[in-house]
Amino acid sequence: MQSTTAICPSLFNATSAQDGILSRIRIPSGLITSVQCDAIAQLVNQFGNGEIQITNRANLQIRTSQALTLEVLQNLQDYGLASRTESVDGLRNIMASPTAGIDIHAKINTIPFVKQWDAYLSNHPELEILSSKFSVCFDGGETVSVSDRPNDICLVAVEINNEIYFDLHLGLGDRGDSPSAVGKLIDPQQTLEVLATLTEVYREYTQQKLNQNYSRSRPPRLRELLNDWGVKHYLQLVEQKFGYALRPSSYLPKREKREYKHLGIHAQKQSGLAYIGAVIPLGRLTSQQLQGLGHLAKHHGGGALRLTAWQNILITDVAEAKIAQVTREIFNLGLQISVNHPYAAIAACSGSTGCKSALTDTQTDAKAIAIHLENCIKLDHPINIHFSGCEKSCAQHHSSDIALVSKNSQAYQVYIGAGDISFGRELYPEYSTQDLPALIERLLNIYQNQRQNSEQNFSEFMNRCNLQELQKLLTLDHA
């Protein structure tokens, strides 16, 4: 029987939440076959509320009325939806770009690396002592980049003198920061060996800490090792164990502007094929929608869906001649594909129904805003609105256009654009939840009517605004 005591849910150790037992199913690189979609749909229809949620690491999250039985868990293992080694199934999902292997700009297909690393984890139960937050990401240089997502280790494909390498990035900063380059290159053929060594040195550090009475329920994060030993010493130990020095790197990573190319219709690297990104409102979809999308992938695509870290879904390998039909069928499932749909860029953490730290029901409040915007405004740029039930900001760590952070049970702090602190510039320290939809509508209207040109995005416009003048304008607009 599934345990239900976890703070951070996994499949074998779920969380008991206000709205049921919350389980998280790891989907390495977000790749899920139509058969697996059917299995999950059947599971939530039988034991849950018929709904599935995609998380910001491209896991699937389900809510059931009771803990899952051993038989159900074994069934999920048979479908390849859970590791055969239960003790390591709780480690964070392995992340890759949802367009790995199909992106026109990809330098290398990272999916085989994800599979190798997943198999390695399953074969190494001794890694169970690691923090369940230990996370690895592969970025193949795709336009839909994941290199800025918070991860402990991120391998970013780079091209140097016509050769492809992985540039090693480590999560050195605070919670939620993007990993940073540490000046080492990895030959793709040695990727598994290097990752295994990086992990083994971290495991030995963890064991030392546990021997010194560190709590087993809160083992050290990799960033604690990095703070403790420094990157240089960590990498020296890795190289000693590995047997030789890693190639130095002076590659300077570029932080690209998010292009939202995970949504809508886009040509693939493979001639004559396209992928279609569907907007999944707050990452939530019904079992029928998941099965419907799986069915489209089976009959008109590559047989699998790609879940994204932006909580949306891609159908890949669609022949040009089938694009119109597949798009129509996505609409028939009640979903959209437009990057400018209000739901396209709204993210919310679990909120009070799924997390004890939340002061507000972020999911319901985000939905209220999306429904309001759908009825009153036509966007011509995706506007990233981020709801957080507390300052931890689980749903999204990078900067957003508008950030709403719970202040108390009936109000949010409102931040806009970029600022000195991660949420942006504080527009209001406290704003009533019920008045938020109208406030966001007014902000968007001011932006669309007063921006310099259609190229100026929301955050650029808001960063130039004088906050007092903006508040006056919002009040006048309201009167």
Least Å from the CB of residue 392 to ligand SF4: 4
Element (H, E) at 415: strand 411-416
Q: Which stretch binds ligand SF4 (CB under 6 A): 27-35, 132-140, 339-347, 386-394?
A: 386-394
Tokens of residue 50, six digits: 């018929």
Least Å from the CB of residue 369 to ligand SF4: 17
Phi, psi of 30 (to 5 degrees): 70, 10
- 9 lines the binding site for ligand SF4 (CB under 6 A): no
Q: Output 29 or 352, the one with its CB closest to ligand SF4.
A: 352
Report the first-to-last Cα separation within the chain, whole angstroms: 58
Q: Which stretch binds ligand SF4 (CB under 6 A): 304-312, 330-338, 375-383, 384-392?
A: 384-392
d(CA 292, CA 372) in angstroms, rounded, equals 27
Q: Output 349 or 370, the one with its CB closest to ligand SF4.
A: 349
- 326 lines the binding site for ligand SF4 (CB under 6 A): no
Q: Considering CB under 6 A, how many residues would be counted as binding ligand SF4? A: 11
Task: Find the binder of ligand SF4 among 33, 109, 199, 393 (CB under 6 A).
Answer: 393
String of contacts with ligand SF4 for each residue 333-372, x by CB under 6 A? ----------------xx----x-xx--------------
Least Å from the CB of residue 393 to ligand SF4: 5
Least Å from the CB of residue 19 to ligand SF4: 13
Task: Find the binder of ligand SF4 among 53, 55, 147, 388 (CB under 6 A).
Answer: 388
Element (H, E) at 199: helix 191-211
Least Å from the CB of residue 61 to ligand SF4: 11
Are 396 and 347 in contact, with CB atoms under 8 Å apart?
yes
d(CA 106, CA 129) in angstroms, rounded, equals 34
Q: Output 83 or 362, the one with its CB closest to ligand SF4.
A: 362
- 59 lines the binding site for ligand SF4 (CB under 6 A): no
Least Å from the CB of residue 354 to ligand SF4: 7
- 392 lines the binding site for ligand SF4 (CB under 6 A): yes
Q: Output 13 or 360, the one with its CB closest to ligand SF4.
A: 360
CA distances from 224 to 57, 136, 193, 209, 361 (A): 22, 16, 23, 11, 32
Q: Output 141 or 389, the one with its CB closest to ligand SF4.
A: 389
- Which spans in 281-322 are helix H? 287-300
Are 390 and 357 in contact, with CB atoms under 8 Å apart?
yes
Amino acid (one-letter) located at 324: A
- 394 lines the binding site for ligand SF4 (CB under 6 A): yes
What is the DSSP track for 42-99? HHHHHHEEEEEEE-TTS-EEEEESSPPPHHHHHHHHHTTSS-SSHHHHTSPPPEE-TT
Chain residue at closest Cβ approach to ligand SF4: 389
Q: Output 96 or 349, the one with its CB closest to ligand SF4.
A: 349
Tokens of residue 398, six digits: 């990078």
Phi, psi of 407 (to 5 degrees): -100, -45
Least Å from the CB of residue 388 to ligand SF4: 5
d(CA 354, CA 23) in angstroms, rounded, equals 11
Query: With b meaning 16 or more CB within 10 Å and e meaning fewer, what string describes 270-302?
Result: eeebbbbbbbbbbbbbbbebbbbbbbbbbebbb
Q: Output 329 or 361, the one with its CB closest to ligand SF4.
A: 361
- 418 lines the binding site for ligand SF4 (CB under 6 A): no
Instruction: List the one residue out of 431, 402, 409, 300 whose CA is nearest residue 362.
Output: 409
Task: Find the binder of ligand SF4 among 302, 389, 417, 437 (CB under 6 A).
Answer: 389
Q: Output 269 or 392, the one with its CB closest to ligand SF4.
A: 392
Binding site for ligand SF4 (CB under 6 A): 349-350, 355, 357-358, 388-390, 392-394
